[in-house]
Amino acid sequence: MSDGLKQRIAGALVLGALGLIILPVLFDFADPLKIDRTSKLPAAPEIESVQVVKAERPAGVPKKSLFSAIFDIDNSKPATDSSEAPYGLSAEDLPKAWVLQVSSFETKKNADEFMNRLRKNDYKAFVKSAKVKNQTRYRVYVGPKIDKRRAVQDKSKIDAAFNTDSIVLKYAL
């Protein structure tokens, strides 16, 4: 072997050794997806249980308060707003609900456009077709709402915003 070849081989070995030493220092070859699963939380502190004692009524305070004497709380009954139960299931085991019939159109295109206007204003609107005097009408509804009061509130808002006179109806499938 010639001297030049020996020097090249020695130089290559020296450069390789330097590369093995310097490359790990410059680059981090650890797995970037490795998750550290060791807990850094301190141990739970020791907590003593506390015994809660029921408060005793002072001797000068009467047992019945002034409110129960005035309003007769013991004999009172819950108030009912209407004769019809607002929630629950109907006779067909379907949920009782209310919808607003906002408008009625002769063409599906007009009904869909109005439905999209309602949806842009964050109302849950849908279109149903109905036969009226041998003509197909497309009715736009908002709802259903479980609470009739919410349907009435939406009615006043929709009537003012869209210049309509909507009708509150019982929801039927």
CATH number at residue 159: 3.30.70.1070
Length of the chain: 173
Q: What is the pLDDT of residue 155?
A: 85
Q: Do 102 and 70 meet the contact criterion of CB atoms below 8 Å apart?
A: no
Q: Could you tell me if residue 50 is inside a domain?
A: no
Q: Could you tell me if residue 58 is inside a domain?
A: no
Q: Could you tell me if residue 140 is inside a domain?
A: yes
Q: Could you tell me if residue 45 is inside a domain?
A: no
Q: Could you tell me if residue 128 is inside a domain?
A: yes
Q: What is the pLDDT of residue 28?
A: 74
User: Could you give the number of structural domains in the chain?
Assistant: 1
Q: What is the pLDDT of residue 104?
A: 85
| Structural domain that includes position 158 | 98-170
Q: What is the pLDDT of residue 106?
A: 84
Q: Could you tell me if residue 113 is inside a domain?
A: yes
Q: Do 96 and 90 meet the contact criterion of CB atoms below 8 Å apart?
A: yes
Segments of the chain scoring below 70 in pLDDT: 61-95, 173
Burial code (b: 16+ CB inside 10 Å, e: under 16) for 7-37 equals eeeeeeeeeeeeeeeeeeeeeeeeeeeeeee
Q: What is the pLDDT of residue 12?
A: 96
Joined together, the tokens standing for residue 26 give 């410059």
Q: Could you tell me if residue 131 is inside a domain?
A: yes
Q: Which residues pair with 169 in a beta bridge?
A: 99
Q: Could you tell me if residue 35 is inside a domain?
A: no
